[in-house]
Structure 1
């Protein structure tokens, strides 16, 4: 187990230890606890993906470590549970200290809209990564646009003979946005097509690393954009274990340099930083926008190069023989990607 992997799991273990000290119920005896209340509904695909979901929890725990709040953690296993969770929170926190319900998965949006919820004056909901602008009053959201950064990644992959996307599920707006960007970036000035593979038709695809392992094993020499949450670990594992493997894999959500020697760069999503900012604004009772989109120019999403790619790679292609190749292509296409993102958001 690498130093990075051990570090990730140690941080997660700390999270769970701290959460054990959190309140287990939203119900409070009047007068016994005047702290603000934070109820966190974890992603339906669970924690431990060593990527996006774990960064969400990292941001929450960073906030919790600096603010004295009464925090509750709720971990649903299906969408059927979400409606009852929202209704219970609404009822149990209607009076008393201010309360925030943090919904950390964009798939909860449909359930939230269908509840027809009306919030009390001290209640607010923060929904992560929704594109919706017609949420109920008192519900706030933000999203990180993936089109521009994925377009840039596609440009950087353009000289590879093939490119593909392995996505968790079809029809998810966040994933489809990234697929559109990567496809256009790779196919511009290029007669080759990006192949797209979906692991499932629902959110179960975010937790199918064995299936992702089998899918990538059936491909030839390709440049993979992994959009499958915890299932990405199956992709990294295959690229790590297979000798004389020419395909390259883009790290996703966090710096994945140590996950495989076939990762030249990673798309890093600073969801942890955004959550700290939003939770702090709620705690300090600052006004929040009902909806906001963050793109490449915000610094909340970027590409970082692997510092060990050329040190540990055992087989490579001539086009990226120069150790400055990835840095040079990043600089070459970054402004173009920024303009493409602006156009995409406008439409």
Structure 2
């Protein structure tokens, strides 16, 4: 498989474009049986046809999936594509959705997009039977397929910045009109299901904390799934009750429960994937910052490549801070309370990461 770097100008152009929210073409509903084209047609007008298979946690997570959907809708508006979507209820349905889209002749899909590590095996299996069908897997990689392109992210880089901020809060304390932290020297991390992607979040976050101050206590727990807000709340409640000054999540919809716990504890929290002080605005009073991951731009860019005839089925792209794929953005409501020293440290650290001056682990065992 070839390794290449995505043209940064192309990606930055996508990250700066406006998006629409909403999905008009949903395959599946509750039982995965209905196939609806977003344009009301079947692609006979010459439009590029795209199918996307969302994770089980699905739309409404106020983060990962919703952000990917924005990229799809941007492509509909700006590129004139038609699209359908699969929303599986369990991991066992992934292969069925991919097989159904690949088998379809009305419409005949120009591209099928899969999201997350859980779709590696289903795409690996189905793509072997449909050599003429193009896939893109975002957030993981399928090896050895000429008809599957891959886009992954350097979550450990962005999470290192989140760790830098968390370390400052854990040592300096934090005070806003709605939340406070006294600087107990404890930080927390809530993960969804354990996989290599989520471990990159944790590893980078922990490294950012420890590189600032090794004496800070680091606590981590996994819910085992991405759509269990009650479990996320329970985990975070335990962390806050045990002195955590701030907690960061990489848990999809499970992370909404972390924000609930933060509100109850009156402590700050760090969001993920999107600026969750905006996308999960009910919790803007506790979200001090978010580590963004531009799923919208990844989806839009890969569709744009297909529309322009530039699809490369052997490509393996990894996007990071230098590409604008990650940023640490401060919360709309309480982000202004972050100290100058913390903001300066984040800015300096970001530049050092881009310049290759900081080595960041990708696994918790490194």
> Shorter-normalised TM-score: what interval?
0.7 to 0.9
Rounded to whole Å, the distance in 1 between the matches of 2:320 and 2:79 is 28
- Counterpart of 1:137 in structure 2 is 146
Shift of 1:97: 5.5
- Counterpart of 1:236 in structure 2 is 259
Rounded to whole Å, the distance in 2 between the matches of 1:32 and 1:49 is 33
Gaps of 5+ in 1: 1-10, 314-319
**Structure 1 residues 98-177: aligned runs within 5 Å:** 99-115=110-126, 117-121=128-132, 123-132=133-142, 134-159=143-168, 160=170, 161-170=185-194, 172-177=195-200
Deviation string 1:298-325 (CA, Å, 9 cap, x unpaired) is: 11101112243167x7xxxxxx6x4x24
Shift of 1:192: 2.9
Deviation string 1:279-309 (CA, Å, 9 cap, x unpaired) is: 1111111143611001111111011122431
Rounded to whole Å, the distance in 2 between the matches of 1:32 and 1:158 is 56
Is 1:19 the equivalent of 2:2? no
- Counterpart of 2:300 in structure 1 is 276
Pair 152,83 (structure 1): closer, same or farther in 2 beyond 3 Å: same
Deviation string 1:25-80 (CA, Å, 9 cap, x unpaired) is: 79xx9995643321121221110011111000011011012233332222111122
Pair 215,97 (structure 1): closer, same or farther in 2 beyond 3 Å: closer
- Structure 2 length normalisation: TM-score? 0.76
Q: Which has the higher contact order (CA 8 A, sep 6+)?
A: 2
Q: Please tell me whether the aligned partners of residues 287 and 331 of structure 2 are also in contact (alpha carbons under 8 angstroms).
A: yes
Pair 180,275 (structure 1): closer, same or farther in 2 beyond 3 Å: same
- Counterpart of 1:335 in structure 2 is 351
Aligned with 1:305 (options 330, 333, 346)? 330
Q: How many residues align?
A: 311
Shift of 1:182: 0.9
Q: Please tell me whether the aligned partners of residues 110 and 306 of structure 2 are also in contact (alpha carbons under 8 angstroms).
A: no
Shift of 1:344: 4.9
Gaps of 5+ in 2: 1-19, 28-33, 171-184
- Counterpart of 2:56 in structure 1 is 44
Q: CA RMSD in A?
A: 3.0
- Structure 1 length normalisation: TM-score? 0.80
Pair 266,329 (structure 1): closer, same or farther in 2 beyond 3 Å: same
